[in-house]
Amino acid sequence: MPKIEIARAEVDRSTRYPGPLADPLQGREKCKLGDAIGLTQFGVNIATLPPGVWSSQRHWHANEDEFIYVLEGEIVLVEDGGEVVLKSGDAAGFKANSGNGHCLINRGNRTARYLEVGTRAANDKVTYPDVDMMLERDSSSRRYLHKSGEPY
């Protein structure tokens, strides 16, 4: 099994969200460990959230499972049932098609890091319950749409 040179792995600072929906994510980084060794069935990232930064807009996937494990710092898990503080050593997961919208927010005063693992489904639909956005993705395209179906 090839060793991953973490310091050389791609760091993704982008957000693909349209317009101001990307604002709360500015500063988020994802070190793409799964991509570094060519994994295709699931993704593995070390995500970094500076203070005040969100992991994503609150969402849920139709076809992808997600798992996170907090490595350092403290983050707030925001989901349908409320909010929970996650600290180093805590984990959470989200089963595909659960309908439980979730995101992570760093409300602390120091940077937090967590490991995230998720399915790489060829086709997926992502629902964002708090904002006028949804995502439809297949093997060749990614489309952000208004809930009406109109493209951004």
d(CA 128, CA 132): 7
Residues of the chain with pLDDT > 70: what percent? 99
Convert the pLDDT of each residue in 93-140 to its tens digit. Answer: 999 999 999 999 999 999 999 999 999 999 999 999 999 999 999 989
Domain ranges in the chain are 20-122
20-122 belongs to which homologous superfamily? Jelly Rolls (2.60.120.10)
d(CA 74, CA 113): 8
* Spatial contact of 78 and 58, defined as CB atoms under 8 Å apart: yes
pTM: 0.95
Residues 6 or more apart from 96 whose CB is under 8 A from it?
61, 62, 63, 64, 65, 119, 121
Convert the pLDDT of each residue in 63-93 to its tens digit. Answer: 999 999 999 999 999 999 999 999 999 999 9
Q: Alpha carbon of 25 to those of 14, 98, 140: distances in Å?
A: 9, 23, 25
Taking the chain, what is the end-to-end CA distance rounded to the nearest angstrom? 42
pLDDT of residue 2: 84
